[in-house]
Amino acid sequence: MMASNSGPTALAPAGPSVRVRAPAKINLYLAVGDVREDGYHDLVTVFQAVDLADELTVRPARRSAVRTTPPDGVPVGAKNLAGVAARLLATRTKSGGPVAIDIAKQIPVAGGMAGGSADAAAALVGCAALWELRVQRQELIEIGREIGADVPFALAGGTALGTGRGDLLSPVMTRARLHWVLAIADHGLSTPAVFAELDRLRAQGGGPPPVRPVDTMLAALTSGEPAKIAAALGNDLQAAAISLAPGLRRTLRAGEQAGALGGLVSGSGPTVALLCADAESAGAVAAELAGSGTCRSVRVAAGPAPGARVLPNGGTG
Ligand code: C5P
């Protein structure tokens, strides 16, 4: 079992290190189909990576360890997805060795923005660089798929259409640079619990009306017009997230009243993503939302952003 949040001694540099940055995602569109035999749901989703990111430092160590700053709420020990990713890459490529992974977290934990998947993607990219593996990004994506449904997108970045479990990706071209305000809740939501709540609502016959076909969103992204993209935002999980966390209704209303073009719960929530007309409007919406008392904190973010990548000065450390 890997040590976790262990003291600085376990993480003392034992050689060169690699720094990696991996983005959070927003689901601009998320249609949830039936539950499958493997327990996952068939999805049609449009992801966008944004410039809110976690940074990982990976270095060789006498024994493997993962430390997260701040540590609150991040899974520790063998469950930490960055550690899982490092071990899986070592097994698959029959290379590498113990690594110490330091995670500087910006992405909200259990927030519907795929923070754990971003850390897994970063660990794959970081270990591949540290161990000087000759692997293509596509091979990392195949390994990432085994770790979690959102890991392939954290490797790919940009804007993409996801099908299957959300892990079969095709890039979506868009001219738009989108300016978001993120309302971060003072609690997390468990992704399996939110999917189960949607199943429950649907089984009772009181499920939310399904989102419109994805074509409207794809056409809006082609147009590059934020107002059209805002009108096409949709998430089948939103009603389930609100059912478990009713306060999200107030957050969405406050964001729209503050001047956002549109908003939605990101993925399984509880982070609310508000799309704004431009950077200036996002700044104003963020300031007003921060004073609304409807969320713990507020961030501005822009997309699309690149997938997990080694930082240029990360060669030695
Ligand atoms: O793949 P990942 O571990 O991130 O997924 C977390 C959980 O979210 C799954 O165990 C499943 O309960 C739910 N999920 C789902 N359908 C998907 C993706 C995730 O039901 N397509």
Whether residue 159 sits in one domain with residue 123: yes
Whether residue 155 sits in one domain with residue 213: no
CATH code at 182?
Answer: 3.30.70.890
What's the predicted TM-score (pTM) here?
0.92
Q: Which among 115, 148, 172 is the end of a domain?
A: 172
What is the whole-number distance in angstroms between the Cα of residue 71 and the centre of ligand 1?
23
Residue 236 in domain: yes
For the stretch 101-142, pLDDT in tens is: 999 999 999 999 999 999 999 999 999 999 999 999 999 999
Residue 234 in domain: yes
Distances (CA, A) of 167 to 9, 202, 215, 279, 295: 37, 24, 19, 30, 30
Residue with the nearest Cα to atom 7 of ligand 1?
192
**Per the structure, how many domains does the chain have?**
2
d(CA 308, CA 151): 10
Whether residue 261 sits in one domain with residue 166: no
Cis geometry, peptide bond prior to residue 70 (ω within 30 degrees of 0): yes
| Interstrand relation of 272-276 and 99-104 (parallel, antiparallel or unpaired) | unpaired
Q: Which among 128, 150, 172 is the end of a domain?
A: 172
Whether residue 16 sits in one domain with residue 120: yes
Residue 72 in domain: yes
d(CA 58, CA 65): 10
Distances (CA, A) of 64 to 19, 44, 96, 143: 17, 37, 11, 20
CATH code at 78?
Answer: 3.30.230.10
- Check if 40 has its Cβ closer than 6 Å to any atom of ligand 1: yes
User: What integer pLDDT is reported at residue 15 of this predicted model?
Assistant: 57
User: What integer pLDDT is reported at residue 79 of this predicted model?
Assistant: 82
Domain that holds residue 204: 178-303
d(CA 129, CA 307): 15
For the stretch 266-310, pLDDT in tens is: 999 999 999 999 999 999 999 999 999 999 999 999 999 999 999
Contact in structure between 259 and 237 (CB atoms under 8 Å): no
- Check if 248 has its Cβ closer than 6 Å to any atom of ligand 1: no
Whether residue 154 sits in one domain with residue 26: yes
The answer to the question of whether 96 is labelled as a binding residue is no
Q: Which among 140, 172, 204 is the end of a domain?
A: 172
Question: Which stretches in the chain have pLDDT values below 50?
Answer: 1-14, 314-317
Residue 313 in domain: no
The answer to the question of whether 110 is labelled as a binding residue is yes
Residue 316 in domain: no
d(CA 159, CA 30): 13
Whether residue 18 sits in one domain with residue 157: yes
Residue 315 in domain: no
Residue 239 in domain: yes
Report ipTM for this prediction: 0.96
Strand partners, 56: 20, 103
The answer to the question of whether 115 is labelled as a binding residue is yes
Whether residue 287 sits in one domain with residue 241: yes
